[in-house]
Amino acid sequence: MKSLKQALQHKPITLVIKRILFIKGCIVSCLFPIFNNIIDDFTKSFPEIEISYIEPPLNKFKGITGESWTNEVLSATWSRTGNPDWSRTKYVKHLTINYFFEIGIQTVIKNMQPNDFVLFAEDDQSYSINAFEHILKLMEKNQQNTCFSKIAIEPYKEYYKRTINTFEIHLWGAWGNLRSKNQLEIFLRYLKFSNFAESEDTLGIYLCKSLNQTVEVDCVSKHFGKDRYLPKI
29 φ/ψ sector (left φ>0, alpha ψ -120 to 50, else beta): left
Residue 230 lies in a domain: no
Number of domains in the chain: 1
For residue 5, with 0-12 CB atoms within 10 Å meaning exposed, 13-18 middle and 19 or more buried, which class applies? middle
Residue 229 lies in a domain: no
What is the domain extent for residue 156? 2-222
Q: Where are the alpha helices (DSSP H) in the chain?
A: 2-9, 33-45, 69-78, 88-109, 131-140, 181-194, 200-211
pLDDT at 108: 94
Instruction: Decide if 227 is inside a domain.
Output: no
Regions of the chain with pLDDT less than 50: 233
Instruction: Provide the pLDDT for residue 233.
Output: 44
- Asked if the structure places residue 233 within a domain, the reply is no
Looking at residue 160, its pLDDT comes to 80
Judged by DSSP in three states, 56 sits in coil
> Residue 148 has what pLDDT?
95
Q: Is 123 inside a domain boundary?
A: yes
26 lies in some domain = yes
Q: What is the CATH number of the domain that holds 84?
A: 3.90.550
- 128 domain-assigned: yes
> In terms of residues, how long is the chain?
233
Torsion of CA 193, 195, 197, 198, to 10 degrees: 110
Quick check: helix, strand or coil at residue 40?
helix
